[in-house]
Amino acid sequence: MIVSPFKTICIFLLLPIPFIAFSQEAETPEENDILELEEISVTGLRVEKRLKDTPVITEVIDAEEIAQSGATDLSGVLEDYGIMCTSNSMGDYISLQGLGESRVLFLIDGRRVPGKVSQRIKGQTIPIGDIERIEIVRGAQSALYGSDGMGGVINIITKPTAENFALSARFTNSLIPAYNTEATEESQNSLKDAQPLLEQNLRINLTYGLGKTSNKLSIDGTRGEMYMNDTGSTSITPQQWRGKISNETSFTMGDTMDMAIGGSIMLMVEEDQTSAQGSLLTEETNRYEAYAEYDWLLTDTISISSRLYDHFYQRERQEYSGLTEVWDDPDYENENLLTADSYATIDLTDGLLLVSGGEFSLNTMNREWLTLDDAEKDISRIRGALMVQAEWYDENSYSLVAGIRGEGDSRYGLMAAPRLAGMYYLTPELRLLSGAGLGYRAPDFNELYVYRNVGTMPVLISGNPDLKPEYSLGGNIGAEYAAERFFLQTNIYYTELFQEIVYDETGETDIASGKEIYRTENLDRSMRAGLDLEGKIHFANGLFISAGYNYLFAYNRSETEELREEPGHTARVKTGLEIQSPALTIDISTNYMSPQDPDDSSENYREHRYQIDLYSSWGINENYLLFLSLKNITGYINESLGPYYGQKLTLGMEASF
């Protein structure tokens, strides 16, 4: 097993965790506003801003909404919020405004998350136990974050450290009730459809003070059973073990400097049955991260934020043949991202804010299957970037942002991306927002070099070292109305994508496997256009109703045909009742997706997809909360796109002290 040199640092940062006694202290629940416009957001501008002052449309999924989703990982949360999200053994296809795969940048507290399978992040490797909120910014963000942020950015904000003692523990058990009651010749496994112990999850979060330090400790563990299809030939969900532990310590150095160090370790093992003969697919995934960062108030108008972090990702995949009782040679990959960055925020005048800084990163990969000369298995990339952004603003009146980022890549040379964004209040409740920018994405290691023959795939995937970077040019215009109990937001967007990277048929056949070869290629040009609508109304008696609608049109200009990689229409409606005394919450939500491709030969792609979910919680007292969620009440199943099984019931309890 190959491990990063920073794994030792990461483990060291997790060791000094003292035992702390309980103290009885709980927060009093407060009434939820329609939209927390006073909430601070950091993703859209790289500085702390209230949502009402941010000229970039930003969606925030807070801790309460994450809890109500009933999910245990990132992908389970995102699928309930108008984001195209489908999961399979190769990872999660997550798309913003019609741009998916590697065109969505994932961050944790502003730090990049490496490690993708087929250009897809695997949401199961990102447990949600330590998440405070998730910020989603749609549209090209390369002017701020560089490569990969063409479709948008999803920034996962973790819980802060604290001096006060607080402990919370949350336990859930998910089960699937039987949906067949009698065994038949076609369904020999139907009596076993019920799975009362499908998945268990335990999360523990602890904050405490130790000397002059503020600390937080988070532990997240999940165990899942293999769930078989009706015939018992293949598994729908894998057998899974996953554990993550993270720790952060922050302390103040004088009156003007704060520093934090931390790290995390995530280990996950999954096992799937792939055939009736007992063939298995086993995958082990590890993530190790260590970081140090500091904030320095240089003067009353100048502050500097700097950090150094290392994130190591490791995945090993093996297949077992039930007929030959032989394990094949493992397909392994290891990716490491070492990054240092520093940014200064300068208040030049009362209405002019300047953000400027730079980054340097070393990205390396070691993988078994690579099409490199001389069969090399180690590749690397060095990147450096400079960024400057100016904001002219008057709170509750207007904001105008102009910025540009130049990035040097050791393989592709210089790439640059400018952007403009603006906001203007027509009335105290109504504001207009617009923006335009250039995005870019350098091909990742897998697209360039991987030569992959996975036994369960009908084709062989080949990288292409001659790929060119992708570029996008797009803009949006929208409006937002926020009154005391009513909120409405609309956004129209348009994006032209140049040199789009796709998998294309080559007409060639791999000699060893006999499979047709698909190779990554650049298209000339394609476009995405659409509309996003979001609204919510909150009644005085604790009842609320929210709704959203998304329209997407995608067109391949190279082939002069419509792209049908995603549904053209998605909609969601949620209604709920929140009572403060007794503390009772009941939510019912409905999600709908139009057929992905009405002309496809597969029925799964021609079907209208829908899902109805229920969530309810009851606060026994100020320390204990009971809750349940029922996903997919109608039992709708789509074998290709999900949901993959019927109803899923989750019961749980949370204790806070």
pLDDT tens digit string along 474-488? 999 999 999 988 999
- Dihedral of CA 134/138/143/147: which sign? positive
User: What is the rounded distance in angstroms from the CA atom of residue 71 to the CA atom of residue 57?
Assistant: 25
User: What is the rounded distance in angstroms from the CA atom of residue 194 to the CA atom of residue 178?
Assistant: 4
For tokens 């952004």, the residue is 389
Cα dist from 444 to 103, 118, 465, 466, 493, whole Å: 11, 10, 10, 12, 26
Those residues with Cβ within 8 angstroms of residue 62's Cβ, 6 or more apart along the chain or in another chain: 36, 39, 132, 133
Those residues with Cβ within 8 angstroms of residue 349's Cβ, 6 or more apart along the chain or in another chain: none
Q: Is residue 328 helix, strand or coil?
A: coil
User: What is the rounded distance in angstroms from the CA atom of residue 230 to the CA atom of residue 637?
Assistant: 13
What CA dihedral angle connects 628, 216, 7 and 90, to 10 degrees? 20
For tokens 């002059």, the residue is 212
Burial class (CB in 10 A: 0-12, 13-18, 19+), 118: buried
Neighbours of 275 (CB within 10 A): 15
Apex 350 CA angle, 346 and 351, nearest 5: 90
Those residues with Cβ within 8 angstroms of residue 93's Cβ, 6 or more apart along the chain or in another chain: 84, 85, 86, 87, 100, 101, 120
Helix%, strand%, coil% for the chain, nearest 5: 5, 60, 35
The list of the chain residues with pLDDT below 70 reads 1-38, 82, 88-90, 179-192, 371-376, 454-456
Peptide bond preceding 443 in cis form (omega within 30 of 0)? no
Taking alpha carbons only, the member of 142, 440, 115, 160 closest to residue 310 is 115
For tokens 């009572």, the residue is 579
Looking only at the bridges linking them, the beta strands covering 195-210 and 213-224 are antiparallel
Structure tokens at 156: 């996962």
At residue 438, the pLDDT reads 95
- H-helix segments, 368-482: 445-449
At residue 455, the pLDDT reads 63
Apex 240 CA angle, 236 and 241, nearest 5: 170
- Dihedral of CA 15/16/22/23: which sign? negative
At residue 375, the pLDDT reads 53
Those residues with Cβ within 8 angstroms of residue 622's Cβ, 6 or more apart along the chain or in another chain: 26, 28
Cα dist from 647 to 44, 511, 577, 637, 651, whole Å: 37, 44, 23, 10, 13
At residue 559, the pLDDT reads 85
Taking alpha carbons only, the member of 545, 445, 547 closest to residue 489 is 547
At residue 39, the pLDDT reads 77
Cα dist from 67 to 240, 255, 653, whole Å: 21, 37, 11
At residue 612, the pLDDT reads 93
Structure tokens at 460: 């062989």
- H-helix segments, 69-166: 74-78, 142-145
Indicate the DSSP class of residue 508. E
Apex 279 CA angle, 274 and 282, nearest 5: 75
At residue 370, the pLDDT reads 74
Burial class (CB in 10 A: 0-12, 13-18, 19+), 68: buried
pTM of the entire structure? 0.90
